[in-house]
């Protein structure tokens, strides 16, 4: 915690100075302010601050206590700056107000310095972790959105395919009782499942009409290429597995490994159905979207052959009864609609 920068705000000047001395003895850079306006100016002028400690009843008599104004300011303008509120008049109302203004912590006077120091360290460490986490989440979101865009740049007919497959897979996962953690991984696998198409020649990807045997063998390499592309996802082994397995079949006649039945885990089997459903329900260069009736018949016939028998029946019944509406977005992850797809159960 050496070198951290703290702003101390209290109209009891001696207290602000005492806390300041304690923090300085720990190697901190200390700034002090004794009234609200001074504190607001300091917040503007000190972008590198690590912590704000402020008295709640700063300049008593204000309609809104000065400390709460500062906490609110930080929540809006400096969301990564932790705020610790101090008060000599503890009350439940005040504690609630502190939480409402997103203050990180709340301490009563008289201030016990070792306690304040411990809580200050905790606040800074936790806030830094939170900031890092939200940065990682943002990067992760961006990267997993960029990869499908890269496939779409190569093959515009797949526009929106990944987004729709995410939604279909998640709906089926909810209906099949898949837990939240596995659903999260499944959504990522659904988003990335066709990433291997980046490694397939454009002439084959965008060929109008059916593929010949050799071309089919080339396109059938895309699950393995995808598996290699997402190798850095070492912490998500099942995401990689489900991407690798998304063209397997229940009867073992799929590719690339010819896995059978429950050799593919339930979320992986769900992804297989979701991808095929999208292939059937959307336009391709040589086929129109199938009707709900025809899709329902197909899933019924292929339950226990191409598809997990239970899942095949669920989709057949659902699509027959509700059509597209069967795939309601439960997860709020359907960012994009429309578009076409190249993927097909035959490929
Ligand atoms: Fe695929």
Q: Tell me the mean pLDDT per 10 residues along the chain, length 347.
A: 88 91 93 93 92 86 81 90 86 66 82 92 91 85 81 79 92 94 94 92 86 93 94 90 97 96 97 95 81 96 97 95 79 37 37
Separation of 343 CA from ligand 1 center, angstroms? 6
The 8-class DSSP code of residue 177 comes to: T
Separation of 224 CA from ligand 1 center, angstroms? 10
pTM assigned to the model: 0.64
Query: What confidence score (pLDDT) does residue 284 get?
Result: 74
Query: What confidence score (pLDDT) does residue 340 get?
Result: 29
Residues 299/222, Cβ–Cβ less than 8 Å:
no
Query: What confidence score (pLDDT) does residue 159 get?
Result: 77
Query: What confidence score (pLDDT) does residue 151 get?
Result: 80
Query: What confidence score (pLDDT) does residue 249 get?
Result: 97
- 184's CB contacts (< 8 A; 6+ apart) are none
Query: What confidence score (pLDDT) does residue 149 get?
Result: 83
Separation of 136 CA from ligand 1 center, angstroms? 28
Report the CATH number at residue 37. 3.40.50.2300
Query: What confidence score (pLDDT) does residue 312 get?
Result: 97
Buried b (16+ CB within 10 A) or exposed e, 96-114: ebbeebebbbbbbeebeee
Query: What confidence score (pLDDT) does residue 335 get?
Result: 39
275 belongs to a structural domain: yes
Which one of the listed residues 72, 197, 313, 322 is annotated catalytic?
197
The partner residues of 5 in beta bridges, in order of sequence, read: 29
Residues 39/71, Cβ–Cβ less than 8 Å:
no
Query: What confidence score (pLDDT) does residue 98 get?
Result: 65
The count of domains in the chain is: 2
Residues 307/272, Cβ–Cβ less than 8 Å:
yes
The answer on 311 and 169 residing in a single domain is yes
10 Å CB burial of residue 338 (0-12, 13-18, 19+) is exposed
Separation of 246 CA from ligand 1 center, angstroms? 6
> Could you tell me the residue range of the domain that residue 40 belongs to?
5-131
The answer on 161 and 119 residing in a single domain is no
Separation of 243 CA from ligand 1 center, angstroms? 8
Query: What confidence score (pLDDT) does residue 95 get?
Result: 66
Active site residue 197: yes
Query: What confidence score (pLDDT) does residue 256 get?
Result: 96
219 belongs to a structural domain: yes
Separation of 326 CA from ligand 1 center, angstroms? 22
The partner residues of 33 in beta bridges, in order of sequence, read: 9
The answer on 173 and 297 residing in a single domain is yes
């Amino acid at each position: 915690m050496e070198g951290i920068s703290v702003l101390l705000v209290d109209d009891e000047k001696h207290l602000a100075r005492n806390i300041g001395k304690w923090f300085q003895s720990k190697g901190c850079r200390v700034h002090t302010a004794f009234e609200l306006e001074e504190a607001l100016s300091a917040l503007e002028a000190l972008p590198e601050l690590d912590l704000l400690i402020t008295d709640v009843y700063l300049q008593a008599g204000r309609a809104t206590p000065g400390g709460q104004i500062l906490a609110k300011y930080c929540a809006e303008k400096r969301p990564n700056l932790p705020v610790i509120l101090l008060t000599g008049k503890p009350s439940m109302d005040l504690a609630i107000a502190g939480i409402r203004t997103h203050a990180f912590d709340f301490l009563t006077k008289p201030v016990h310095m070792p306690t304040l120091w411990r809580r200050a360290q905790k606040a800074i460490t936790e806030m830094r972790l939170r900031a890092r986490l939200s940065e990682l989440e943002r990067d992760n979101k961006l990267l997993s959105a960029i990869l499908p865009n890269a496939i779409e740049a190569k093959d515009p007919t797949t526009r929106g395919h990944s987004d729709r497959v995410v939604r279909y897979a998640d709906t089926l996962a909810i209906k099949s009782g898949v837990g939240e953690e596995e659903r999260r991984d499944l959504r990522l696998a659904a988003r990335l499942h066709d990433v291997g198409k980046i490694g397939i020649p454009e002439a084959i990807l965008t060929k109008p009409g059916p593929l010949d045997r050799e071309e089919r063998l080339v396109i059938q390499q895309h699950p393995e290429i995808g598996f290699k592309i997402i190798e850095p996802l070492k912490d998500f082994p099942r995401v990689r597995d489900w991407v690798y397995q998304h063209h397997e079949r229940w009867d073992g006649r799929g590719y690339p490994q010819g896995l059978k039945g429950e050799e593919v885990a339930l979320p992986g089997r769900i992804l297989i159905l979701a991808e095929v459903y999208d292939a059937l329900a959307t336009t391709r260069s040589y086929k129109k979207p199938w009707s709900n009736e025809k899709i329902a018949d197909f899933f019924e016939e292929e339950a226990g052959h191409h598809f997990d028998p239970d899942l095949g029946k669920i989709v057949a019944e659902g699509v027959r009864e509700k059509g597209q509406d069967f795939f309601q977005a439960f997860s709020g992850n359907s960012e994009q609609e429309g578009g076409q797809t190249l993927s097909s159960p035959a490929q």
